[in-house]
Amino acid sequence: MAAVRIKDHWAEQRLFLTRLVVAASCVGILTAVVLTRLVQLQIVQYDYFSAQSQGNRIRIEPVPATRGLILDRNGRVLAENQASFGLELTPEQVPDIDDTLRRLADLGLLKADELPEIRRRINARRRFDTIAIREHLNDEEVALFAVKRPYFDGVEIRARLSRFYPYGPALAHALGYVGGISADDQREIDAVAYAGTSHIGKVSVERAFERELHGNVGREQVLVNARGRSLQTLERQSALPGQDLVLGLDLDAQLAAWAGLAGRRGAVVAIDPANGEVLTFVSSPAFDPNAISAGLSRKAYSALLEDIDKPLLNRALRGTYPPGSTIKPIIALAGLAEGVTTAEERVACRGYFMLPGSQHRYRDWKPEGHGMVDLYSSIEQSCDVYYYTLARNLGIERMAAYLSKFGLGGLTGIELPGERGGLVPTPAWKRRAFSRAANQVWFPGETVIAGIGQGYLLVTPLQLATATATIAARGQRFEPTMLHALRDPITGTVTPVTAGTLAPVTVPDAAYWDHVIEGMHRVMQGARGTARAVGLNAPFQMAGKSGTAQVFSIAQNEKYKAAEVAERLRDHALFVAFAPLEQPRIAVAVVIENGESGSKIAAPIARQVMEAYLRKGGA
């Protein structure tokens, strides 16, 4: 007989109740989780997710500031901003950046060899920053991209202001240029302040006054569609434009200097002796700053670097040359101040100088000699023997001390980056400079030739102009400055800028300045002055000093014949001058590489520059 199973209602009821409790607990827990998350999203994190939501619809874009203008001292524009079209890319909106760049290159809108640099710039910026990848599109290129635009998400054509230099190479080394922000620049700048900015000052004035020229970036809220394209500007905070720079440069004098150099290798620097403002700053040959700012190809930039005439070298600031006879006025002043000579004391010039116990002849530029020469005629005729004698009597230490007082052998303090200091040699310097003991000895003959600006002595054109301005101002010294004033671009308010002063050059008797300046006056307007041909019929009285610096030495029994010497081994031509004689308003230094004759080649350029500046009253 089969067993009969009796149903346990109580057990089934307990099981049911247990399952009900478990299920209810699960529902309760899940409900609590959902409610908690809901509270977190809707209440606790409301502001955050609200902003995120807006970000999907509204984009904040930087508004780059307009770069300040650069003007000459008379208000003429030397560097301005012009509208141009460019391609800009926003990385977060581009599905495949490499593919996009490659396709733009295929269209001819980018150059293949530029892609790595463009990629580097993109990687260096934030993904939501808009980055300029091509500038100065012509009408045909704008039309080409407009047709293809639907295939390039995240790439736009935008009108921007780009830098333009109306006088091109004539002011290239004075103003410098702007260029794309490099990796080195990126490490130095404030990323927020430069948001939306693609260019930065690279050299010279554009670099030195980058902070004043840059301005403050603005912001705008832009309504965008689902693909990130701009639909409407909702709100705009305008950028604050950079300040305008009013330079001390006089455009007429600058162009006169540029025309005078006419493709020669050299430099012209002019300074106002009364305040240190740089009136002319030319280095030749130069380059087209507009081409560099627009972006040179690698090939074109390499051609500039490899050019034998070095157009990228700022000779006014970084070129170093033996000063030749242009330092004789300083050596003469040192002789007077140290009591080694007087203005009337005369030296016999037979065409050469010999140190006691030596048969070596230090030759004068005039083989037959100048006869009896005093301080005035020594400067007027540039007698080498007079200065061989004076240098031996002064000694290298005292000569070096006076040359240094005039700013030679050290940085002038001008704002421009990259200045070279030149060299005023001393026995101590020679011991440091050479490793072999035999080369560390200072020889008496090195003192003798230093007296006519040869040997190890090296100066820059800027230093020569500064030293000449110091003579013109009878010892008063200023740090040379490119800046005359700052102008507010909104209000037009002009704020003058004053150059820093330096320790003056003092001498025991103020008449010593008169002696030296009279000698320089005779150079240009004396009966036997080395530059009298240039000084004739000048509309103002002026003072000057010619210089010719050897590039290589010739043997004792040989004569220098320019026609038999390679062009790049011929003497450098130098000239320094200031005018008007009584109240100098301009001091100028001219250096022409391998120009051979300071009085014939460099002096006419100095006069052209002085006339261009002074004919309108030196405004």
Q: Write the CA distances from 320 to 122, 291, 463, 538, integer angstroms.
A: 40, 28, 10, 31
Report the DSSP beta bridge partners of residue 280.
270
Written as six digits, the tokens of 415 are 């704002």
86, 141 contact by CB (below 8 A): no
Helix (H) / strand (E) element for 551: namely: none
What SS3 state is found at 456? coil
What SS3 state is found at 32? helix
Chain-centroid distance of CA 236 in Å reads 35
What SS3 state is found at 111? coil
* CA separation for the pair 112, 101 (Å, rounded): 9
Active site includes 435? no
Active-site residue identified among 162, 283, 325, 599: 325
The amino acid at residue 142 is: V
Peptide bond into 322 cis (omega under 30): no
* CA separation for the pair 378, 366 (Å, rounded): 12
Residue 442: name the closest of 429, 453, 454, 452 by CA. 429
Q: How many CA atoms lie within 13 A of 242 on its CB side?
A: 25
* CA separation for the pair 262, 259 (Å, rounded): 5
Residue whose tokens read 């026995």: 427
Peptide bond into 496 cis (omega under 30): no
Written as six digits, the tokens of 497 are 């800028």
* CA separation for the pair 257, 171 (Å, rounded): 10
Q: Write the CA distances from 412 to 59, 249, 276, integer angstroms.
A: 49, 18, 11
Beta-carbon neighbour count of residue 386 at 10 Å? 31
Residue 419: name the closest of 178, 266, 203 by CA. 203
* CA separation for the pair 29, 214 (Å, rounded): 60
Residue 593: name the closest of 320, 259, 279 by CA. 320
Q: Counting every residue, how long is the chain? A: 619
Residue whose tokens read 């001393």: 426
Report the C-alpha dihedral over residues 557, 562, 567, 573, rounded to 10 degrees. Answer: 100
What SS3 state is found at 189? coil
224, 55 contact by CB (below 8 A): no
180, 121 contact by CB (below 8 A): yes
245, 97 contact by CB (below 8 A): no
Residues with active-site annotation: 325
